[in-house]
């Protein structure tokens, strides 16, 4: 079975400060991990993914995420937040062990609010 | 490429009515899926398809039907609308259900059932 948790419903950060949106996961095998962003009244957009290799993954809009296998985490980070980063962020996981079902599991989402 | 398109953008139904939410993609993706998004619930999978002629149930399939007669189209049918089906519906696609492929999402359909 696979699951993903986003422990914070909302993250508040001041513009220019670093931001972190947390994600932890549980899988039987090795994970494929994804981050998506949803701006108001829009569909989800893909930000970045971890498949294998370097634990630090870089994505769109200056975002990056660090895969930590021992802590089963995949936190999303950005060195300097912008007001335009305010959105809903979703973490998703797919177990490479699949087991016949290839469906990724999404977290409940974290609302990021960047204050001017 | 238009990507993933959904129609209509908004819909109001009365309890008991039926309707079809349309979804199409022009990327020749094998995998397509329907989600509903409710406040505090995140995304919940309704139905999915791994190719033309193949569909399966997701987490919350009751009250919904799907079919996949072509690679491009994946309509979602509400059989007899209920207020509990008031939600925002997203269609998504990806190149393959296997591997590391990310999903592409449509803009959503906001459905209200009165």
pLDDT for res A99: 55
Q: How far is CA B75 from the centre of its chain?
A: 7
Cβ of B40 within 8 Å of Cβ of A44? The answer is: no
Closest Cα partner for A91 from A30, A15, A7, A28? Answer: A7
Please give, rounded to a whole number of angstroms, the shortest distance from the CA of A107 to a CA of chain B: 6
Selected for mutation to probe chain B from A95, A101, A102, A108 (highest B CB count within 10 Å) is: A102
pLDDT in tens, B8-47: 999 999 999 999 999 999 999 999 999 999 988 889 999 9
pLDDT in tens, A26-43: 988 888 999 999 999 899
Closest Cα partner for A21 from A74, A58, A72? Answer: A74
Using a CB-CB cut-off of 8 Å, the residues of chain B touching A46 are 102-104
pLDDT in tens, A54-106: 999 999 999 999 999 999 999 999 999 999 999 999 999 988 765 555 678 89
Q: Which residue has the higher pLDDT, A82 or B100?
A: A82
User: With the C-alpha atoms ordered B87, A104, B48, B23, is the resulting torsion angle positive or negative?
Assistant: positive
Cβ of B107 within 8 Å of Cβ of A106? The answer is: no
Selected for mutation to probe chain A from B3, B36, B37, B43 (highest A CB count within 10 Å) is: B43
Cβ of A109 within 8 Å of Cβ of B50? The answer is: no
Q: Residue A49 pLDDT > 90, yes or no?
A: yes
Residue range B37-59: average pLDDT? 92
């Amino acid at each position: 079975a696979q699951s993903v948790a986003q422990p914070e419903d909302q993250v508040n950060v001041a513009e220019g400060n670093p931001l972190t949106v947390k994600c932890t996961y549980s899988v039987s095998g090795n994970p494929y991990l994804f981050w998506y962003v949803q701006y108001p009244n829009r569909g989800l957009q893909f930000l970045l993914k971890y498949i294998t290799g370097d634990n630090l993954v870089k994505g769109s809009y200056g975002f990056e995420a660090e895969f930590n296998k021992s802590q089963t985490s995949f936190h999303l980070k950005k060195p300097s937040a912008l007001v335009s980063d305010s959105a809903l962020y979703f973490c998703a996981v797919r177990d490479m062990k699949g087991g016949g079902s290839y469906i990724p599991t999404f977290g409940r989402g974290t609302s990021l609010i960047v204050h001017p | 490429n238009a990507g993933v398109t959904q129609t209509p953008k908004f819909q109001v139904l009365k309890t008991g009515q039926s309707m079809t939410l349309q979804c199409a993609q022009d990327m020749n993706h094998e995998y397509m899926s329907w989600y509903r998004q409710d406040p505090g619930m995140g995304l919940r999978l309704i139905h999915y398809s791994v190719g033309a002629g193949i569909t399966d149930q997701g987490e919350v399939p009751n009250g919904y039907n799907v079919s996949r007669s072509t690679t491009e189209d994946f309509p979602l049918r509400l059989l007899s609308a209920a207020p509990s089906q008031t939600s925002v519906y997203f269609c998504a696609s990806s190149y393959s259900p296997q591997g590391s492929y990310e999903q592409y999402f449509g803009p959503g359909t906001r459905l209200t059932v009165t």
